[in-house]
Structure 1
Amino acid sequence: MIDNSPSLLTPTSIVRRALRALANLRLAIFLLLAIALFSISGTVIEQGQSLAFYQANYPEDPALFGFLTWKVLLVLGLDRVYRTWWFLSLLVLFGSSLTACTFTRQFPALKAARRWKFYTKPRQFEKLALSAELDTGSLDSLNPLLEKKNYKIFREGNALYARKGIAGRIGPIIVHASMLLVLIGSIWGALGGFLAQEIVPSGEAFKISNIINAGPLATAQIPTDWGVKVNRFWIDYTPEGDIDQFYSDLSVIDDEGTELDRQTISVNHPLRYRGVTLYQTNWGIAGIVAQVNNSPMFRLPMAELETEGGGRFWGTWVPTKPDMSEGASLLTKDLQGTLLVYDAKGNLSGAVRTGTTTEVNGITLKVFDLIGSTGLQIKADPGIPMVYGGFGLLMIGVVMSYLSHSQIWALQVGDRFYVGGRTNRAQVAFEREVIGFLDQLKG
């Protein structure tokens, strides 16, 4: 009887039991499903938004699905799924399971596939699923047939061993290694990456400061020795007046204002510099340049108005008296240059385009320019190269895993010739191949 009492447990046995538990297939499947489930939740639930956003979209009454409120989201960390301790723990545990499986199963399987021996007794062929005893044939006649099918051949005396497709045994190891690389890249990206948003008027420079989501190690990724200048922002419109594309001419500058890089970005065409990517995601109207009668030109800011679903509008107020007791309101919905003018009583006075004048409240108002502002999403993810490399390696490993590892033994005993073989997949194709060898040997 075996005594399994705790007193007989040694560190080595404990490690072996832990490795067997980690390498369990059911555990790996459970972890993979859990990671997939929480990844879906991180895709469905908006990540990294403000408290007001979650309070507005996930109210306590009525709660989504009867339980999902903004408080539940914040407590569980569903507003930042990919950076929570429990999600990173799942990734680490799954990676540990893959590592344990690789060393306890895949490497021994590869070692066993590389280790071979000759069959020196006819009865050894009986344990093969596919074997035959012939009264014709020889090792010399079988040898060229195997070479033609790209088998690697070993001979010793009256025995022969041949194999091909050893890469099929290496494929699963590469798949595991690629998945580990993806996991490491994901963890490193979650810990060392950041996400920021900036909205900047044309002609102004800025440094990345509006960080909305960052990992605990992201400080090293946030640039402090360079900034960005928005040289110009503009929008291309379709003949129907809809937005076709919007562009930002950006310059990367150092602390002295020296240009380090320059590129025009648009949607799906970002600027990348030193591991930081700037995406074109939004736009707005920052202000207007105007003149009242013969006054100097001045710049007024424009603010986006709340329209309750009626589209985006920006507005500003222009004083028409020196004591600012009276003024006119200007409204516009795009950068095409047309503004609606309302007098002091709120009546529509007319419309004015950039470069033209209009009369309102007894004064002449001229609008010189509309100043657009670009909305940028700025992201750094140091784990991206590892993730991309892991997926590339994964495709290679999957293709290699489809290769069959086929083995053939042969033995010449007097006038009897024994042939047998086995494979780990594509059994029908292998049987046809071996039957083809036997037919040629009989012939």
Structure 2
Amino acid sequence: MTVSDSSNTSELLSLLQQGFRSLIKVITDLRLAIILLLVIALFSVSGTVIEQGQSLQFYQENYPTYPALFGFITWKFILILGLNHVYSTWWFLSLLILFGTSLTACTFTRQIPALKAARHWKLYQQSRQFQKLVLSAELDTGSPTSLLPLLQKRGYKVFQENQALYARKGIIGRIGPIIVHAGILIILAGGIWGTLTGFLAQEMVASGETFQVRNILESGPLAAPQIPKDWAVKVNRFWIDYTPNGEIDQFYSDLSVINEQGEELDRKTIYVNQPLRYRGVTFYQTDWGIAGVRVQINNSPIFQLPMAQLNTNGRGRLWGTWIPTKTDLSEGVSLIARDLQGTMVVYDNQGNLVGAVRSGMAIPINGVNLKILELVGSTGLQIKADPGVPIVYAGFALLMAGVVMSYVSHSQIWALQEGERFYIGGKTNRAQVSFERELIAIVEELKSEKSARVVETV
């Protein structure tokens, strides 16, 4: 290698080092961390306000092009930016990673060096060093020996060498910010891991049916192992409790987890805010419907017909079906129901009201006796797996512990005896007034000891 090549290499390395130092300086800048946190909070709020994971039709109906919400928020705007699934978009995950990188860099370049500096103690050997302390006093009484028990009584750890003394307490307050940063980083890691490995699904299952999770709405690229394959769920029964005035009080689903051989592995009756959890998958009770109706015509075998939800343009929920009254399907009636306990109404082919009927009742029509045995309810389940939740909870616990630790004041006191003069001073990083009162109390105790000695001599 020539001298010129060596010089060029050195210059390149120097430029790279300067660039790296500049990058670290930008990343560790507190202003960048605050900006990133505000941006993350802003988009998190948007993910709460804008409904997540809905269909294209939903966004087209609720966020039309004209008139646009606030003049620019339309369904196209939402879909292009991914605001319909904010928390799993590449740019939101990138913001989390960048924020985590900034916190990590700040921890290693600022917080940890500050902790190391706080652990190292240094004695003041000259009286002029006390002049730089905000709180200091020059006394004609006292000594390191007399000061030592006063400090120990107040929880200080004391270091003494000859006529100089250093004491500190609350070093845990310096550890607190590091714990806070670690908690935030764990929360971010848990959120990212949950996004990559979790999934969200919805199922509408009729009472008595068995199902496996199929209707996946959202899933991360690593979510496949979380989706149940070797076990299924059976809806043993679905029912609704009503209030005396006919309003829905609560709806319930009796669920059983079964394996491939049909053996029951777990069982629980779920309702709103009381889900079933099994192998990291949670089944929430979120909706209900009418899946079908069981009918009998004259003395025919009992058969079940499906019921579909009707479009009422937002004026309540109705389900309907068509029941043939002849074997060649040339005639039939329409059955309309609004819930699982109320009255059902029957219409003929011309749309004329024939009558009303309740479960277990029969009605004559088209020359036959039509008996409505029962309505079959269906349960609406939201199914979610988020492996990042335990990590997030652990991060929050660590974060809370770090916040509490951060409130502990890191207080330091120096003392020096030079001849007949005794110098004492100190500083703290918070609770300045309390520390000032404590230091004044220590000085007063030192003065009182001198007064006691004078009285004793007299």
TM class by smaller structure: over 0.9
Gaps (5+ residues) in structure 1? none
The Cα shift of 1:346 comes to: 2.4
Provide the rounded CA distance (Å) in 2 between the counterparts of 1:400 and 1:13: 36
TM-score (norm. length: structure 2):
0.93
Aligned match of 1:64: 69
**Structure 1 residue aligned with 2:31, among 19, 23, 26?**
26
Q: Please report how far the alpha carbon of residue 319 of structure 1 lies from its aligned counterpart in structure 2 after TM superposition.
A: 1.3
Aligned identity (percent) is 69
Does residue 147 of structure 2 align to residue 142 of structure 1?
A: yes
After superposing the two structures, state which structure 1 stretch, 420-429 or 346-355, moved more: 346-355
Q: Which moved more, 1:60-69 or 1:294-303?
A: 60-69
1:431 aligns with 2:436: yes
- Map of 1:409 onto structure 2: 414
Aligned partner of 1:107 in structure 2 is 112
* SS of aligned partner of 1:291: strand
What is the distance in 2 between the residues matched to 1:266 and 1:44?
25
- Indicate which of 247, 250, 253 corresponds to 2:255: 250
| Alpha-carbon shift at residue 108 of structure 1 (Å) | 0.5
Separation in 1 of the partners of 2:78 and 2:435? 55
Residue 55 of structure 1, aligned match among 50, 57, 60: 60
Number of equivalences: 439
1:261 maps to which residue?
A: 266
Aligned-pair distance for 1:320? Answer: 1.4
Structure 2 CA distance for aligned equivalents of residues 154 and 225 of structure 1: 65
Contact 1:289-1:300 within 8 A present in 2 as well:
yes
- Please identify, of 114-123 and 241-250, the stretch whose mean Cα deviation from structure 2 is larger: 114-123
Report the 3-state secondary structure (helix = DSSP H, G, I; strand = E; otherwise coil) of the residue aligned with 1:54: helix
Q: How does 1:296-335 map to 2 (within 5 A)?
A: 296-335=301-340
Q: Which one of the candidate residues 398, 401, 410 is aligned to 2:403?
A: 398
Matching of residues 204-283 of structure 1 within 5 Å: 204-283=209-288
- Give the distance between the partners of 1:190 and 1:210, measured in 2 at CA: 18
CA–CA distance in structure 2, aligned partners of residues 368 and 161 of structure 1: 89
Q: TM-score scaled to structure 1, two decimals? A: 0.96
Distance 2:265 2:157 in 1: 57
Map of 2:377 onto structure 1: 372
Measured in 2, the distance between the counterparts of 1:135 and 1:369 equals: 99
Bigger mean CA offset, 85-94 vs 308-317: 308-317
Partner of 2:455: none
Aligned partners of 1:344 and 1:361 also within 8 Å: no
Q: Which whole-Å CA distance do the structure 1 matches of 2:232 and 2:11 have between them?
A: 62
More deviation, 154-163/57-66: 57-66
Cα offset for 1:434? 0.3
Q: Structure 2 residue aligned with 1:37, among 5, 20, 42?
A: 42
Name segments (4+ residues, structure 1) moved above 6 Å.
Answer: none
Q: CA deviation at 1:140?
A: 2.4
Does structure 2 conserve the Cα–Cα contact (< 8 Å) formed by 1:188 and 1:383? yes
Q: Which residue of 2 aligns with 1:79?
A: 84
Instruction: Confirm whether residue 193 of structure 1 aligns to residue 198 of structure 2.
Output: yes
Shift of 1:327: 1.3
Higher mean C-alpha displacement, 54-63 vs 386-395: 54-63
Amino acid at match of 1:228: V
The equivalent position to 1:292 in structure 2, one of 289, 294, 297, is 297
Provide the rounded CA distance (Å) in 1 between the counterparts of 2:33 and 2:406: 19
Q: Which amino acid aligns with 1:187?
A: I
Q: What aligned pairs does 1:152-171 form with structure 2 within 5 A after superposition?
A: 152-171=157-176
Instruction: Tell me which moved more, 198-207 or 14-23.
Output: 14-23
Aligned to 1:180: 185
> What is the CA–CA distance in structure 1 between the aligned matches of 2:347 and 2:447, rounded to whole Å?
102
Moved more, 339-348 or 109-118: 339-348
Once superposed, what is the RMSD of the aligned Cα atoms?
Answer: 1.5
Distance 2:391 2:12 in 1: 45
- On the 8 A contact 1:203/1:229 being kept in 2, the answer is yes
Counterpart CA distance in 2 for 1:364 and 1:298 is 14
User: What CA distance in whole angstroms lies between the structure 2 residues aligned with 1:383 and 1:165?
Assistant: 34
Distance 2:262 2:202 in 1: 22
Residue 80 of structure 1 aligns to a residue in which SS? helix
Tell me by how many angstroms 1:400 deviates.
Answer: 0.8
CA distance in 1, matches of 2:12, 2:319: 77
Write the letter of the residue equivalent to 1:376. L
**Structure 1: how far apart are the matches of 2:108 and 2:429?**
20
1:51 maps to a residue whose letter is L
Counterpart in the other structure of 1:361: 366
Gaps of 5+ in 2: 1-9, 449-458
Q: Which residue of the partner structure matches residue 16 of structure 1?
A: 21
State how far apart, in whole Å, the 1-side matches of 2:110 and 2:161 are: 31
Encode CA deviations 1:274-294: one digit per residue, 9 max, x unaligned. 111111000000011111111
